[in-house]
Structure 1
Amino acid sequence: IRKLKEWGITYNPSQLLRIMERDYGIIETVYRSATQRWWRFSDITAVKEAIRYFEGDNEDLIEDPEHYVLSLQIDVIDIDRLLNEVKAMYSKSRLSVAEKNRIKQIVVEELPTIAKVMKEAQKYENRYKDFIRKCVFLMKLIGELLRKMRLGSTSSYVLEAKNVAVERLRESG
C-alpha cells in the first residue's frame, strides 16, 4: 500500500484484487496468512497481451490464431446465461412443455458445440478453468433435469395407471 501511495493511488486495492481473482481469474492466491496475502498472475502472457493491446501495440496480438478463435467461441457461447436458464428450470418442481422443448434444444443444438469448445479449452486449462468448470456443471445439471423429466413422466404415467385401476375396481365391486 505504501508503494501505491507513492504513485498517487490512495485506495485499498484489496477489493480490486478480490474481483480480479474471483470474477475474472486473472490472479490466484499463492500464500495467505493473518497479515499477508500473495498473488500471482494465472496467465502472465495473457496479461502482457492485454497491456500491449491497451498501450496501442496490437500489431502481433494474434500470435496463436487457434487460441484467439477459442476465446471468441467462449465469448459467443455465453455460458453464464445458459447456466442461469438451466438453474431456473432445475429449481422448478414441474416443467412446462416449452421448457422441456428448450432443454431438448439445448441438448441437441447447443451442447455438442459447448462440448467441442470445452475439449479445446482443456488444452489451455489454466486460462479457461472457470469456463471448463461451468461447462461441467451445466452438463451435470442438464443430465439431472433429463432424469427429472423422465421420472416425472414415468411417475405421472404410473399414477394415471393406478387411477384407472382404482376406477375399474370401483365399477366392478
Structure 2
Amino acid sequence: MLSSDLKEKVFSFLQKYGDKGFIVLKTALSIAKDPNIDHKLGDFSFKHLVLKLNSMGFSYNPVNLIRILEKEFGLIEKTYSSSNQTWWRFKDIDAVEEAVYSENDVEKVEDPKIRLIAVKYRSLEPAEIYAFLQKTLIKPSLTPADKAKFRSMVFNEIDQLVKLVDEMYNYEEFFEYEISFIKEIFKLAEKLSRRIENEHLRGFRGRQTISQEDILRDDHRGHS
C-alpha cells in the first residue's frame, strides 16, 4: 500500500471516530515507540494498550476500534495471538505517525475566526476533562475534593466548552469531531451531577429519618 493511500485511510479513520479514535491510535503509536517494551511479537499488544489508556484516565474498551483499524482500514495487522495476549504491528508506522501528527484541516484554514475557535478548544484541554469525568464516575465513593473539582470544572471549562459549541456550529464542517466530543463530555457531566444529587438526597433522607426518630423519642419521654 502506498504511504499516501495509507495516510488517507488514517484521515478517514480519524474523521469517522473522532477523539476516541485519535487517542487509541496515538496511544498505540506511543507503545510502539516505547524502548522499554519488548516488541519482538509486534508493535503493541491489547494488554499494553488497555493499561496505557487506563493510566491516562480513559476507561473505555478499545477492542472495537482495534478491530476496525485492522479489518476495515487495514492500518494494522495481527502478528501474534494466544490465550492471554494479542499483538499487532502497523503496516507503515512512519506513514501513520505522520498522518496522526500532521496539521489538521483547521490549521490550514486562513480564517482567523475558525483558527481562534480551535485555539479556544485546545486551551480547555477537553481530553483531560473527559478523563477526569470517567475516572470520577467509576469511583466507589466521591470525596469532597472530587465534588469541588467537578463543580469548578462545570462553572469554568465545561461551561466554556458548551458556549464554544454555538461558535463551532457556524463552521460545523470543520468542527464535527470537536462538537461530538463536547457532547460526550456533557453526557458524562450530567451523569456525575445526577450521582452527586442522588447521594445528597440519600444522605438528607437518612438525616431526616434520624431527626424524626429523635422527635418521637423526645415526645414519648415528655408523656412518660
TM-score, normalised to structure 1, is: 0.63
Identity over the aligned pairs, expressed in percent? 16
Q: Which residue is equivalent to 1:104?
A: 151
Q: How does 1:148-163 map to 2 (within 5 A)?
A: 148-163=195-210
Structure 2 partner of 1:137: 184
The answer for the alignment partner of 1:40 in structure 2 is none
CA distance in 1, matches of 2:136, 2:193: 11
Higher relative CO (Cα under 8 Å, sequence separation at least 6) belongs to 2
SS at match of 1:95: coil
Structure showing greater radius of gyration is 1
Matched, 1:79 2:126: yes
Measured after TM superposition, the shift of residue 119 of structure 1 is 1.3
Using the size of structure 2 for normalisation, the TM-score is 0.50
Counterpart-to-counterpart distance in 1, 2:208 and 2:110: 64
Kept in 2, the 8 Å contact 1:79–1:131? The answer is no
CA–CA distance in structure 2, aligned partners of residues 105 and 112 of structure 1: 10
With over 3 angstroms needed to count, the CA separation of the structure-2 counterparts of 1:144 and 1:26, relative to structure 1, is closer
Secondary structure of 1:112's match? helix
Unpaired stretches in structure 2, ≥5 consecutive residues = 18-71, 74-102
9, 12, 23: which one pairs with 1:21? 12
Cα 1:62–1:17 change in 2 (3 A) is closer
Matched, 1:89 2:136: yes
Structure 1 position 155, deviation (Å): 0.5
Shift of 1:18: 4.8
Amino acid of the structure 2 residue aligned with 1:157: F
Change (3 A) 1:69 1:158: same
What secondary structure sits across from 2:15 in the alignment?
coil
Between 65-74 and 162-171, the greater mean CA deviation after superposition:
162-171
Q: Aligned in 2, Cα 1:19/1:166: closer, same or farther, shift over 3 Å?
A: farther
Tell me which amino acid in the other structure corresponds to 1:25: Q
CA RMSD of aligned residues (A): 3.3
The 1:17–1:91 alpha-carbon spacing in structure 2 relative to 1, beyond 3 Å, is farther
1:136-160 Cα offsets, whole Å, 9 max, x none, are: 1211221221121111011112123
CA deviations on 1:72-106 (whole Å, 9 max, x unpaired) are 11221221111011111112232100010011101
| Counterparts of 1:17 and 1:160, CA distance in 2 | 60
Instruction: Give the Cα separation in 2 of the matches to 1:62 and 1:140.
Output: 30
